Amino acid sequence: MYKAVFLDLDGTLLDNEKRISEENINAIEKAKDKGVFVCICSGRQIDITRKFKEIAHASQYMICSNGAIIYDDDSHEELFSANIDKAFCKEVYEYVESNSLVARFDTKYGRYVNNDSLNVSTEIVITEGIDNFLEHNNVIQLSVVGHSFDEIDKAIVDLKIENSYSNRVVNRYSEKYPINYWCLNIINKSASKGNAITGLCKYLKIDTKDVIAIGDDMNDSSMIDIAGLGVAMGNASEEVKKVANEVTKTNIENGVAHIINKYILN
């Protein structure tokens, strides 16, 4: 029997309105009752991941910021983190300031931004200056946000990210909340969802062949690839489906519950 299930959030556990269905919650609760770890594995920062973990009634362990941190939410213990070089963080801050863009800095304590032009309620504007901020914070994931893909593609070139020995772009995407914007996420080159799951499984003494991983986007490919059963959502990109062992229903058809019911509860 499978001993752990790792779930992406957006496009996977969450529907298109960023909600978790009762069907998915019930399946997660029943899997946990059978002794299975059900862990959120998201690109989101700790505080937002925690909110969805609590709604879903998922297990205590969370993988956040695209695998850059593993967190035990019961003990408030950081089991692993791969931080971004602070000199690069400062370079990005200065770049976005001079190009009228937004930078997001994910830390253990929350998400910080250089300005509030694309701010949502959970983001904190840096007011004490970048040097003071970096002196007191480690950055787990760094994002550049603009009003078009052209702006963030230019940032990839200008900041020489593709040639970096320590950082990589993990994904680029568009969102419509609070207004239309385009974003690229940058993490330490050693971090990935797949590496984080491998590390957490070692900590929990679980073989990755006994793991189910479910996702929909390219940043989920590494976890789908390493899992004993790698599952792509029905709404996943074709590239992700090619990596998966199985394709489930879409995120608005309770694809997560379908897999849990099929492989754990039956």
pLDDT, tens digit, for every residue of 71-125?
999 999 999 999 999 999 999 999 999 999 999 999 998 999 999 887 666 789 9
pLDDT, tens digit, 9 for 90 and up, residues 144-181? 999 899 999 999 999 999 888 899 898 888 887 667 88
Q: Write down the pTM of the prediction.
A: 0.91
User: Three-state DSSP class for 173?
Assistant: strand
Closest C-alpha among 179, 210, 154, 143 to residue 3: 210
Q: What pLDDT, on the 0 to 100 scale, is given for residue 116?
A: 85
pLDDT at 164: 84
Average pLDDT, the chain: 94
Per-residue pLDDT reduced to its tens digit, 209-234:
999 999 999 999 999 999 999 999 99
Residue 74 one-letter amino acid: D
Tokens of 194: 């797949």
Cα–Cα distance measured from residue 261 to residue 143, given in angstroms and rounded to the nearest whole number? 36
> What mean pLDDT do residues 134-147 have?
95
What's the pLDDT at 177? 63
> What are the φ and ψ backbone dihedral angles of 206, each rounded to 5 degrees?
-120, 135
- What was the pLDDT predicted at 119? 65
At 3 the three-state DSSP class reads coil
CA distances (Å), origin 8, targets 15, 26, 153, 197, 216: 12, 17, 25, 12, 8
* Amino acid letter, 152: I
Q: Rounded distance, CA 126 to CA 249, Å?
A: 41
Mean pLDDT calculated for residue range 200-215:
98
From CA 251, how far away is CA 239, in angstroms rounded?
A: 17
Q: Predicted confidence band at 264 (pLDDT cuts at 50, 70, 90)?
A: very high
The proportion of the chain whose per-residue pLDDT surpasses 70, expressed as a percent, equals 98
How wide is the angle at C-alpha 47 spanned by C-alphas 151 and 106, nearest 5°? Answer: 35
At 251, the pLDDT band (50, 70, 90 cuts) reads very high
Determine the Cα–Cα distance for residues 168 and 148; give it in Å rounded to an integer.
Answer: 20
For the chain, what is the radius of gyration of the CA atoms? Answer: 18
Structural domains of the chain ordered from first start:
4-81+191-265 (3.40.50.1000), 86-188 (3.30.1240.10)
Note the pLDDT of residue 70.
98
User: What gap in Å lies between CA 58 and CA 66, rounded to an integer?
Assistant: 18
Calpha distance 233→174 (Å, rounded):
19
